[in-house]
């Protein structure tokens, strides 16, 4: 993956900066790649660029192969990854490049106000956009309800921001990373109650890519492969008002149940997780829906340090969306990059001891599209 932050390179150039190292790391030749599964969420709106997959494939020297672009809001490249894994599993392709790219910062020439409207395109056009509901508001509504039901506090949410900022300083690709305090978070401006500025992930530019290969091919490559052992994908209702339960995030429960079943594990087996912390409250909801913590315990567990990189169930060792950054279409495969790095034991100062089973949780829109991926160290 590229560093997440601000980039002034074109989408083609930025994606190549992730894809070519991924191909090199896998030890395959560009001409051996037989399909391209690509994620980009907003290139049409931000830069008038659609139909990007063939252009990127040509730029990388892969012209001719089947290319497909996915868009499922912030879960875009996880969905591309799911389809790539399924295609390889079905024997349709042997070696596939998967990845995503996005430019979201003022480097695109669009200011934060316009970009906020662009992001809001993933909320409901008829019922939510006209009311001015943007994504800080969506997750604030979910989190406020969680505070009401379980007593979660703003200070507990702030502890998540502090943790993820702390993790981010050990990730050389992270947008942010610093030692922050709960007071820093609580003193930062309110964006959407209960979220302060430091509860929110940033707009980032960036790209990420991975190579997916059939097991018999993967073992012949030079680097250390990791195994994808389960993927679950479910959606919840859109708009938000149609959901049966606001704090449940049902799609995450259904998707993780399926992913665990496919991997033949339970949540207890997960050594660490990368979860979709677009806002601190989203990390609380995710850790509970995934069964990593009991319902209502997401806030207290974070405050007690249980989800720190040296805690019993580390969450977002990369820094998460909060500190690593969130270039929409690149976020899903960036989670896969972190799982791969950790399972290989290559994560340096943020390495989680002897991690052998890991989970990625990526969601799109109103906690609607949810994709949960289980990966394990190669036996």
* Pure H helices in 11-126: 11-26, 43-47, 52-60, 76-89, 112-120
Q: How many residues bind a copy of itself (CB under 8 A)?
A: 60
- Measured distance CA(106)–CA(100) in Å, rounded: 19
Under the criterion CB under 8 A, does residue 265 sit at the interface with a copy of itself?
A: no
Query: H-helix or E-strand containing 203?
Result: none
Segment near a copy of itself (CB under 8 A); pick from 95-103, 143-151, 218-226, 230-238: 230-238
Cα dist from 350 to 93, 210, 342, whole Å: 34, 21, 9
Three-class SS state of 92: coil
200 is catalytic: no
Touching a copy of itself, residues 284-303 (CB under 8 A): none
Catalytic-labelled residue, pool 175, 196, 326, 361: 326
Smaller CB separation from a copy of itself, 119 or 176: 119
Cβ at position 197, least distance to a copy of itself in Å: 25
- Residue 295: CA atoms inside 13 Å, Cβ hemisphere, count? 11
Residue 11 lies near a copy of itself (rule: CB under 8 A): yes
Near a copy of itself by CB under 8 A: residue from 143, 166, 208, 254: 254
Contacts of 120 (CB under 8 A, 6+ apart): 128, 129, 133, 134, 135
- DSSP, collapsed to helix, strand or coil, labels residue 50 as coil
CA distances from residue 110 to 46, 298, 328 in whole angstroms, order as listed? 7, 36, 16
Say whether residue 30 binds a copy of itself (CB under 8 A): no
Interacting span for a copy of itself (CB under 8 A) from 18-26, 79-87, 199-207, 212-220: 79-87
278 catalytic? Reply is no
Q: Which of 7, 67, 74, 361 is an active site residue?
A: 74
Residue ranges binding a copy of itself (CB under 8 A) = 10-12, 41-42, 44-45, 47-51, 53-55, 57-58, 63-73, 79, 83, 86-87, 89-90, 92, 117-118, 120-126, 129, 233-239, 242, 250-251, 254, 364-365, 368-369
Active site positions, annotated: 74, 326
């Amino acid at each position: 993956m590229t560093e997440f932050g601000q980039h002034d390179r074109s989408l083609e150039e930025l994606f190549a900066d992730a894809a070519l190292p991924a191909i090199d790391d896998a030890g395959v030749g560009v001409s051996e790649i037989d399909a391209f599964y690509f994620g980009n969420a907003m290139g049409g709106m931000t830069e008038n660029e659609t139909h990007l997959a063939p252009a990127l494939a040509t730029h990388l020297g892969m012209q001719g192969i089947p290319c497909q672009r996915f868009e499922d809001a912030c879960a875009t490249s996880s969905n591309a990854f799911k389809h790539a894994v399924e295609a390889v599993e079905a024997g349709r392709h042997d070696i596939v490049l998967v990845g995503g790219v996005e430019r979201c910062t003022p480097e695109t020439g669009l200011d934060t106000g316009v970009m906020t409207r662009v992001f809001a395109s993933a909320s409901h056009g008829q019922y939510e956009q006209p009311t001015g509901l943007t994504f800080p508001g969506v997750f604030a509504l979910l989190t406020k309800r969680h505070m009401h039901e379980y007593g979660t506090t703003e200070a507990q949410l702030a502890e998540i921001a502090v943790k993820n900022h702390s993790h981010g300083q050990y990730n050389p690709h992270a947008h942010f990373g610093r030692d922050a305090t709960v007071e820093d978070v609580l003193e930062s401006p309110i964006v959407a109650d209960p979220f302060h500025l430091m509860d929110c992930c940033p707009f980032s530019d960036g790209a990420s890519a991975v190579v997916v290969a059939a097991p018999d091919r993967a073992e012949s490559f030079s680097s250390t492969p990791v195994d994808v052992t389960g993927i679950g994908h479910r959606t919840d209702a859109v708009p938000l008002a149609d959901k049966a339960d606001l704090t449940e995030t049902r799609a995450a429960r259904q998707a993780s149940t399926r992913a665990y079943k496919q991997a033949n594990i339970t949540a207890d087996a997960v050594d660490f997780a990368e979860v979709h912390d677009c806002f601190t409250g989203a990390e609380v909801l995710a850790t509970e829906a995934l069964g990593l913590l009991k319902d209502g315990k997401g806030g207290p567990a974070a405050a007690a340090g249980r989800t720190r990189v040296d805690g019993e169930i580390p969450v977002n060792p990369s820094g998460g969306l909060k500190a690593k950054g969130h270039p929409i279409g690149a976020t899903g495969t960036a989670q896969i990059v972190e799982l791969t790095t950790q399972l290989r034991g290559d994560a340096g100062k943020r390495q989680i001891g002897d991690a052998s089973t890991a989970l990625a949780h990526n969601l799109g829109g109103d906690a609607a599209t949810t994709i949960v991926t289980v990966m394990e160290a190669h036996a």
